[in-house]
Structure formats: structure tokens, C-alpha cells
Structure 1
Amino acid sequence: MSKQWADSKDGAFKRQVSSFREVISKTHPIYKPAANRYWLYVSLACPWAHRTLLTRSLKHLNTVIGVVVVHWHLDSKGWRFLRYPTDKSSIDENIYHTVSGGIDNTQSITMKPFASIPNDSDRLWIDGTPDPLNQFQRLSDLYLKSNPNYSDRFTVPVLWDSETNTIVNNESSEIIRILNSGVFDEFIKDSTTSSTEIINLVPKELESQIDEFNSWVYDNINNGVYKAGFAESAIAYEKEVKNVFQHLDRVEQLLKSKHQALEKKFGPDSKEILKHYFVLNNQLTEADVRLYTTIVRFDPVYVQHFKCNLTTIRDGYPYIHLWLRNLYWNNDSFRLTTNFNHIKLHYTRSHTRINPLGLTPLGPNPHILPL
């Protein structure tokens, strides 16, 4: 998640380039695949971290790769972990390796009104988790442990190697390719999942289409909302917000054509339509994963917080809206890795230049509509 502000010359937002870019493979001299060796450090609010968490879940890697969740509030020192309890018996070590979303979303946790939740709230498995590996207090400790001379921002996600105590990779697009590569498949302990049932999010025959789709979605939608929201001149803002919606229009037309083709094949009222309703080739791919983490945040935060308010997804894009709800309600991985409380609290409390009073809007209600 970026907190880097606009370039002072033209008011345009510039995103930092990731620094750690290693891979994990059987032929790598250091980073070889293994169970329980690698960990993801994520924010449930951050769309870039969310796509790595989502890929981990879709690939059935919950028992192979542990997850540590930072607190939703990003303060002046960066991301922080919850305090590690003095009574270690209160920590269920297994949950780091089993829960899809890093925090157990299967239980209905009654949330306090937003106004009553302080930024230093320290609720275990609700506001975040401790760091069980190093008992570090901040994400910055991981970066400085890996490179004492590191001087850039401390960003999520982080793919951490517990054997060498260093960061393997902090570029989300590369982390999801590592998780999808199949190098961890042999360690999956889910007895109900066979190797033939493990989805390949980047099939070879679709890789070029996925890369092409991702390229314009990333620049104009994933990062486009940030370029609009973090703009510091009216000219830059208006240019970027128009660009976001022009490219949402493009996705809408793509999904409209997809839906019409599926209607012709299965019939207009067939339940089979939603089983094939994805952006590419009628199958779930990385393209859906990378688009989803922006679209699911659009109405709850980007409309009001980043002023991307020409319309909402639910009101202005019926085919994107159906695609979004289909993924959320019909696939546990999408639903369980999406935490609307972290999303809304993080953006509205952490970006003080955009929202200096730190007020968190209650709407939209509900955050996502039923299917």
C-alpha cells in the first residue's frame, strides 16, 4: 500500500518500485520450495497484498505458507503488528497456517461502531496479528533485518523466508506468480484436494492474454484510483478520474459481451452462466484476481475517499457488478480474504491529508449486495 504522495511539479502520483525480486524454485541456490518455510506479511486493507492472500487461498496453500496480518492503521512510522502476548498460551500457532484471510472471517465478530474504535485498538485476530516468527513490532524491522541500509518505504506484501531470515520478494505481481507456479503443490495437506483440482491461474495458452489484460487494468484501474485519489492538483485529478472510468467502461463492455455469449450458449436464465462468467476464456484466471481486489474496494472507499465518484459499480456497471458478486458469494477464497472493516478503517484513518478528521463513512450499506 502506498503512502507516497504526488510529484510536486505536476501534482501526479508516482508509485515506488519494489526492491526484493527473488523467486522460489527447486533450482534456486537458496530459495527452494518447502512447507512452513515461507510466510506472507500482508495488510487486509491493501489491494496489492490482498491479491497474494487470495492466490494463496485459491491454490490451497493455507497449510503451507503462514500469514501475518499488520494492523489496519498505517501511522507515521508505517505498518505495525499487534503486541505479542506475554502469555504465549493465548496464541494459537496453527491459525497462522490455516485461516484463508489471515484473520478468521468464518466467525461473526460483532464490530463496535467505527467511531468507538481508536487507532491503537489492539484486538487479537480482529485488528491484526502479532509476528510469531521474530516478534517484531513493525514491518520495517523485516526490511532492516534483510538490508540494514534499506531506505525506501516499507510496503506490503512481503514474502519472507524464515530459514534465512530475509525478504524473498515484495512485488505482489511476482509473488502471485510464485504461489501459482506449482512449486508448493506437493506440500498441500488438504486430503480433499487432488493435484488435478488445484487451479492454474496462469495457463500457458492464456498467459499472453492475461499479461495484456493486466497491463492496462493495472495502469488505468488498479493504480488509476490511486493516481486520482493522491493527485494534488485539480488538473491531475480530473485527468486521472476520467481515465479510471473510461477503462471501467472497457471492462464493462468486455463482460457484457461475455455474458451475452454465455446466454446464447446456456440460455438467459441458466445457472451455468455464472460458472463461466470470468474476464478471459470463461475460466477463473489471475486476471480476475488482480481486477477483483480493486473493484471490491471501489464502492466502499474509492468512490468517496479517492473522489472516484462519477458513478458506483453497483449503480453504473451492471455486468461488472454481477461479476464481482459472483466471485464474492460463490467462491469462499474471495469472500474470506475480503475484510471490509480493515479496508474502510485503513483508508479513512491512515490518509490524513485526504481525510484529516479521520471520519469513517458508514455506507454503502451493505458493503456488497447479495447475488
Structure 2
Amino acid sequence: MSENTSGSGYVEAEFTRDSKYISDRITADGSSPWPVEPGRYRLVVARACPWANRAVIARRLLGLEDVISMGLCGPTHDERSWTFDLDPAGRDPVLGYERLQEAFLARDPGYSRGITVPTMVDVPSGAVVTNDFPQMTLDLSTQWTAHHREGAPDLYPEHLREEMDEVMERIYQEVNNGVYRCGFSGSQRAYDKAYDRLFTALDRLSDRLEHRRFLMGGQVTEADIRLFTTLARFDTVYHGHFKCNRQKLSEMPVLWAYARDLFQLPGFGDTIDFPQIKEHYYVVHADINPTQIIPQGPDTSGWLMQHNRDQLSDRPWGDGTPPPPPPAGERVPADHGPGGIGHR
């Protein structure tokens, strides 16, 4: 089981993702049983997971750290669940759980689907509200506006939503899920098809970004968050572990400069934990890596190289401002960032 791959299967040797999530929403208008309420919900994530990384970035950019608490699972898990093995005594200090599975069973004692991150948990009941990761970040932008920090960027501008939705769907199908389609292919034919599909999409994105700083123009949006979390893992795990090896990201000039630009913005690169990312993929995917040996490379110091993308636009936050540094308890260890060498 990896991030949201639990329940995934092979159809004619092609990887398919189980996308049936608990789809409840937390809303501001009373249209759901879960109202927007500061302090009521806990966002459970794992730094290794690209889907969870989206929620971490959005929460940070919008300034919701004091409104929605965050629980961190460790980078590895077994067939049952993600675990809170990074916390003292191996229990989440707010929920009291050892395993995220406990929150799903509190919601449904017969729950038998994937235990995935990110998950939003109702603290009073200890039950899962939703693990619908695509909707979750959009709701952080649209339902929690009363609690956004002063200067929070508009990550989902209303006038761009129709085009953004199309762009984000293509990114999900062709890139976010595309790397998994390569890595979990069950035949040479399925892999070859997935490989061609992935790099065709990356080439098109490179063309789109050649003369615009971000996917939707001159400022950061949710679309950039969704692409970034895959690009941030590309050379570290997808290039080798998932056989996405036509080129490294660092050999694709436009996408590499774009990814470095985002990485160097507050709220993006400071959420990336390279050792946890490697430990997750190389240990959990024992069917792909039976020895579970974690590679020492690649060198990640290049993420801090100059990118010159600011020549295309000097207002990455639009009318907003950059987020402040993360709370002390949520900071990635310094040796787990660019150029770090630490394993857990």
C-alpha cells in the first residue's frame, strides 16, 4: 500500500488507482454535517506522500496552521495503515491513535478500503471526515476564507477555475498518476505505453511554461501545487524506482527551472523531506525493490541553484504576500533538505 494505491489493481497489466474516497466536505454554508470550525479538525499527513504534500503546502500558504492542526505519520507503513511512529510513544498527541486506521474505523467499524493520507479527522469524535484529497485542498481555499491569513494568495481564482480544472485534471491523469502508471505496470507493453504518455505530458507542460512563470500565468495557484509535488520527487524516486528515466528532471531545462523556482518560494521547498520520501518508496514498495535498500543519492543541492524565472513575473503571490516561516514543530530537519544526507 502506498499513499493512495491501496485497492489499486491491474487491468490488462495496467495500473489503476482506487479513487473511491470518503467524500464528505467541510463547508462554510451549512451544506454538510461538517461545519468550518477552528480547532475542530486535524489534518493527518505524511511528508513522503505527494498527495498529502499538496494539503501541507496549501494549508501553509493560506495561513491555516493555527486553525487546522496537523498530525504527521512516519514515512513507512504496513498493510494495515500509516502509523504515528514519529511521535513520542508512537501515538498522535491529539488523537491518541497509534494508527491512522483507528480514525477510519471510528467512522465506519467495517471500513475495508485504503487507509490514505491526507485525511481530515474530526477531533471530538476521532472519526475521519474525508480523505478526498483533490477536493480537500480546494475547500481549504474556498470554504476556510474567513480564517485565511492576511495576505493569503488566491490559489483558486474564480475567473480561472474552468481552465484550471482542465489543467489540473490533465496533470493528475498524465503526470501525478502517470509516474505510478509507469512504476506499477504489470507488463512491458503497459509500461511502454505509460512511459510515452508521461513524457508526452511533461513535454507539453514544458512548452506551456516556457514563457509564463507559473501554470496559470504570473502567480502561484493550486495547479502549481499539484504539479510541484510530483516534480519534487522525480529525480529522487520516480526516475529510478518507477523507471521514468527518459530524462531526469534536472535534464529538462524549463521544468527544472520552474520546479526550482517553486522550491525556493516559502511554503514549497521547506515542506520537502528527501530522506522520508526515499525511505517510503524504497521500503514500502517491496515488490519493486525487494531488498528495501535506500539509495544514498541523488545530490539534491541543485534545488537551490538560481532559476531566473522571476524575469517572467515579479508577483508570485499576486496581491498577497509570502507565508511566514513554519511553526517550530512542523519544520523539516535541516539535513533532510537540499544537500542533506540523513536517513531516519
Same fold (TM over 0.5): yes
Matches of 2:29 and 2:125, distance apart in 1: 17
Equivalent residues in 2 for 1:186-201, closer than 5 Å: 186-187=146-147, 193-194=149-150, 197-201=151-155
CA distance in 2, matches of 1:334, 1:302: 19
Correspondence 1:7-156 to 2 at 5 A = 7-28=9-30, 30-82=33-85, 85=88, 130-156=91-117
- Equivalent residues in 2 for 1:213-252 (5 A)? 213-252=167-206
Note the residue ranges of structure 2 that are not aligned, 5 or more in a row. Answer: 307-344
Partner of 1:335: 269
Return the offset for 1:367: 5.7
Partner Cα separation in structure 2 for residue 221 and residue 228 of structure 1: 10
**Where does residue 144 of structure 2 map in the other structure?**
184
Residue 295 of structure 2 is aligned to residue 361 of structure 1: yes
Quote the residue 1:324 is aligned against.
Answer: 259
Counterpart residue type for residue 252 of structure 1: S
Kindly state the Cα deviation for residue 18 of structure 1 after the two structures are TM-superposed.
3.2
In structure 2, what residue type is equivalent to 1:299?
A: D
Structure 1: how far apart are the matches of 2:40 and 2:14? Answer: 40
Does the C-alpha gap of structure 1 residues 184 and 320 become closer, same or farther in structure 2, counting only changes over 3 Å? same
User: Is 1:278 paired with 2:214?
Assistant: yes
Q: Are 1:68 and 1:131, in contact at CA under 8 Å, matched by a contact in 2?
A: yes
Read off the aligned partner of 2:76 and give its amino acid letter.
H
SS of residue in 2 equivalent to 1:280: coil
Q: Contact 1:34–1:187 at 8 Å: present in 2 too?
A: no
CA distance in 1, matches of 2:276, 2:211: 34
Give the RMSD, CA atoms, in angstroms: 1.8
* C-alpha contact 1:41 1:68 (8 A) present in aligned 2: yes
> For the pair shown, which has the larger CA radius of gyration, 1 or 2?
1
**Cα distance change, pair 297–84 in 1 and its aligned pair in 2 (3 A):** closer
- Tell me which of 249, 258, 280 is aligned to 1:313: 249
Provide TM-score, normalisation by structure 1: 0.77
Distance change >3 Å, CA 32–CA 5, structure 1 → 2: closer
Separation in 2, partners of 1:313, 1:8? 28
Distance (whole Å) between structure 1 residues aligned to residue 299 and residue 293 of structure 2: 16
- Equivalent pair of 2:7/2:113 in contact (CA under 8 Å): no
State the secondary structure of the residue aligned to 2:254.
helix
Deviation at 1:143, TM superposition (A): 0.5
The one of the two structures with greater contact order (alpha-carbon pairs below 8 A, sep at least 6) is: 1
Moved more, 153-162 or 17-26: 17-26
Q: CA separation in 1, counterparts of 2:229 and 2:247?
A: 18
Equivalent residue number for residue 120 of structure 2: 159
Secondary structure of 2:75's counterpart equals coil
User: Alpha carbons of 1:308 and 1:84: their partners in 2 closer, same or farther (altered >3 Å)?
Assistant: closer
Whether the 8 Å CA contact 2:72–2:86 is kept in 1: the answer is no
Answer whether contact 1:313 1:321 (CA < 8 A) is retained.
yes
CA distance in 2, matches of 1:154, 1:141: 10
Measure the CA separation in 2 of the matches of 1:60 and 1:26.
Answer: 17
| 1:207 partnered with 2:193 | no
Query: Counterpart amino acid of 1:247?
Result: A
Partner of 1:138: helix, strand, or coil? coil
8 Å CA contact 1:6–1:12 kept in 2: the answer is no
Give the counterpart letter for 1:324 in structure 2.
Answer: A
Question: Which amino acid in the other structure matches residue 289 of structure 1?
Answer: I
Give matches, 1:283-298, under 5 Å. Answer: 283-298=219-234
CA distance in 2, matches of 1:23, 1:307: 36
Report the TM-score, using the length of structure 2 for normalisation: 0.83
Structure 1 residues 30, 164: CA separation in 2 closer, same or farther (over 3 Å shift)? farther
Distance (whole Å) between structure 2 residues aligned to residue 342 and residue 18 of structure 1:
27
Equivalent in the alignment of 2:282: 348
Q: In structure 2, give the amino acid aligned to 1:58.
A: L
- What's the secondary structure of 1:13's corresponding residue? strand
CA distance in 2, matches of 1:30, 1:6: 30
Which residue does 1:96 correspond to in 2? none
The count of aligned residue pairs is 302
Determine whether 1:169 maps to 2:123.
Answer: no
Paired residue secondary structure (1:257): coil
Q: 1:344 touches 1:360 (CA, 8 Å); kept in 2?
A: yes
SS at match of 1:361: coil
SS at match of 1:360: coil
Identity %: 32
Task: Letter of the 1:144 partner, please give it.
Answer: L
Q: Is the Cα contact below 8 Å between 2:42 and 2:68 reproduced in 1?
A: yes
Distance of 1:27 and 1:169 partners within structure 2: 17
| Aligned equivalents of 1:8, 1:280: Cα separation in 2 | 34
Q: Is the 8 A contact 2:105 2:127 kept in 1?
A: no
Preserved contact between residue 7 and residue 114 of structure 2 (Cα < 8 Å): no
